[in-house]
Amino acid sequence: MLEALLRVRRFEERCVKLYSAAKIRGFIHLHIGEEAVAVGVNEALTADDAVVSTYRKHSHALTNLAMRAASYGMPAWSVDGMDVEAVEQTARRAAEGVRAGTGPLFLGLRTYRFRAHSMYDPGRQLAAPVPPLPLGSRPRAAAPSRG
């Protein structure tokens, strides 16, 4: 998974350079700091699995989605979206349940954006610099909680 994390981060960093050099036009919504979500979930899926994702990851929208899911009796699990192993384990457990016929569920993957939301956003609200991906560190695995 480390190779995939690095691939996503390097791709995003390259997009920043290309956009800053006016080689890419339009909108860019960066994923830097949220790599574990894409990598962890994709590791747990097969080619036959279907996924629904949100384009914008605003916390108020996700909170509303989780409450709506719960009101329909859909399980809602929350996991540290910065921990690729916890994401992969939770997504794998969720996918196995869905494949077994338990029905859909909502995964809330909590993350912190290390860069501004888009290239138009100066990112003044961000307090921390972009940290490097942790090489050799062992992320903590968190068990999903039912909501």
Q: Residue holding tokens 């830097």?
A: 32
Structure tokens at 38: 């894409």
Residue 89 phi, psi dihedral angles, 5° rounding: -65, -45
Q: pLDDT at residue 92 above 90?
A: yes
Q: How confident is the model at residue 64 (pLDDT cuts 50, 70, 90)?
A: low
Of 27-41, 61-75, 118-132, the least confident: 118-132
Dihedral angle sign, alpha carbons of residues 35, 38, 42, 47: negative
Average pLDDT of span 116-137: 54
pLDDT value at residue 143: 44
Q: Which domains does the chain have, with CATH numbers?
A: 2-47+54-146 (3.40.50.970)
Q: pLDDT at residue 74 above 50?
A: yes
Residue 93 phi, psi dihedral angles, 5° rounding: -60, -40
Of 35-39, 81-85, 137-141, the least confident: 137-141
Average pLDDT of span 25-41: 81
- Predicted TM-score (pTM) above 0.75: no
Q: pLDDT at residue 88 above 90?
A: yes
